[in-house]
Structure 1
Amino acid sequence: MDITNEVAQIIGQAESSILEYKAVLPPSRNIAQLISSFANANGGYIILGVSENLEINGLSEDFHANAITHKALDLLSPQPKVYYQYVVYEGKKLYAIKVEKSDELVAVEDKIYQRAGSTVRLLNPTEVKLKPDGYLKIKDIYQKLEEYKKKATNSKIRVVGHYQSILKILDDLSQILYPVDADVPTTNQEGKILTRILFSSFVDNFETYLSDLLYEIFLANPATLKSKQQVTLEEVLNCSDLQEFIKYWSKEKIGKLQKGSVKGFIKENRQINDLGVLDETKQNEIEKILQIRHLYSHRNGSVDEKFLQYFAGKFTINSEHQMSISEVCDTLCYLAEIIDAVDLAAIAKYKLAQIDK
């Protein structure tokens, strides 16, 4: 079925309950959510290569939108009736997806979305209840994270969800994590171990977010991937397609950050550096957080000489490093604020696809 004429007639109309524009090619999960939302309403069109202000930029030919769309359809259950193709409009190459209304609710990894006006809403959100008499700081941060879900990239939605899960665990296990007070480190041995695990987990996911964001930037703006850095033939052949290679390469670029070299990571990834969010002060703070994570993940909290280089005069060699849950929450909130600022800047600079939760 050729939908060229239908697309030509609808382009120029404002976004609505049956029309969504994307200036760039979003990740497959974003497309799956949009398809689900239209299928669970009255159907609709997704036009790639047109911005929300109706500027027709065209879609980069460096990537094959069909491959991303196929991956999106694989995430849907059941699969609705969908038509998709490239369309030339005013000399620009666009990509159009037409979604038919479904008789059954269409889910994306067990989540059901529906089109409401020009936005997408989640019909079956997971209800999380924090203790009514629990630690107030946890509740405040949890609510702040909810706000961060608005107008966010897919990468940010995932990391914020993980951070909220961490907060729920902190709330549920208060008896071993902060039996005396949230400002006092626990003396419970299991509580100490769990605190280290939870801290390491949300720091690791900060790194994962940056890697995923790089992938979204590369996907939306292929030119930003170009560099003189060499890759082996084996690295290329191990990937099934260009999109998979880009995901692999974005994760490779996170290597310096995983070794605690924030400045090296920023220097080598101009896509993040050019956002102007991570100044020297923030880089130094993140570096210290990464050193604590390293201590917790690899030395069970036992202070070593490298750690003392970052925290001179505050600890002694082989002493046990501990954090109160209040300090853990402050660190999680700090990283979440950086993620929010980076995400908003990346959306503005690279016109990344957004999900409005």
Structure 2
Amino acid sequence: MLADEGRANNRRKARAAACNPPRGVEFTAGGTGMGTTSRLIEVLPGQMREIALQVKRLREGSKLTQEDLARACNRAASELLGPEDLKRVGRVSRSRIAHIEQAHAPRPGKGVAITLQPHEVRILAHALGVSPEQLAGDHAGGIITWDPLTNPRRARHFLGLVEDFGRSARELVGWAEFLPCSLETREFMHAHHEAIFGGEASHLPPDLRAEYTRAAVSMYDTIGDRRREDLVAAASRRSWGFTHLMLRSDIEGIARGKEPYAGIAPAVRRACLAHLRGLIADRDLRVRLVIADDGEGLRHLVQGFDSLVVFDETFAFWRHASGDIAYTTHNSIVRLRRALLDTLQAHAAYREPGEVAAFLDDLVSLSR
């Protein structure tokens, strides 16, 4: 039931996104200006030293002067704020940037910034190309939800969060109804995205259908390419190993060409499964695949989601059946998500590398 409602919600969102293509960033009362979030972010005096260091690091990393950043902030403000709000908050000056960055100094000078208002967090984050949560380090207040189809700009910010937590993680454990992009061939990934988003836009006029599908596929392909690089190309540099969980019927659906894979050529599906087997066999990559049996009645544990990933016990993100992506670092919520994945692992039908490889060999033979 929830999955059916989610698909209906996705179709409604597809219609809205295609008929009203995103123009930069939507600014809504109570939001961050970078997508749907649960609260405004205000930086308090005790946080300023860390924020000042972050602003300076990001500015210098982007090869911007303080004057450059001030100009970028004013451009961001014109996109994020309405005319009345712009009049109220005024322009960002080079001296304001300097006073913000001074807050990290052992002996800050006169006029140093002692706090940031919510609108300043939004504007600085936008100008520096990060999310407000990244800039302010404000992740622990609960669950943040983002609709990637109506606000694709946030994809870069979300990837930044994933990379930040990935740098210190020891283990990533995930489950999905599908293979994550990092374990797919690029050809299969692209075809899968076209099948998903082309189907959701099938009710739209041809010109809007093509525009919507192209934008959605491009965004998810970009995310997938980055995740594949992190997993495979950067294997020697990353600190974490990855365990991916799937229910048996879901991965068999790829081999048998069931929806949404029916339009993907058997050779492409077969190559993807053979590629997956190679990843599992390469111990240097530290990739595990665990298959749980649907007969255990496990699908109800993940009802309402189509994917979930947990980094140690520090960060979790998941996608609702509606298409919204949610993430959190709230300790209790992360532990609950991890416990769900541990339950799936405890009911594994195929866990050891040898038996998983044999299972994948059987699937490859089915992909005819």
TM-score by length of 2: 0.28
TM-score by length of 1: 0.29
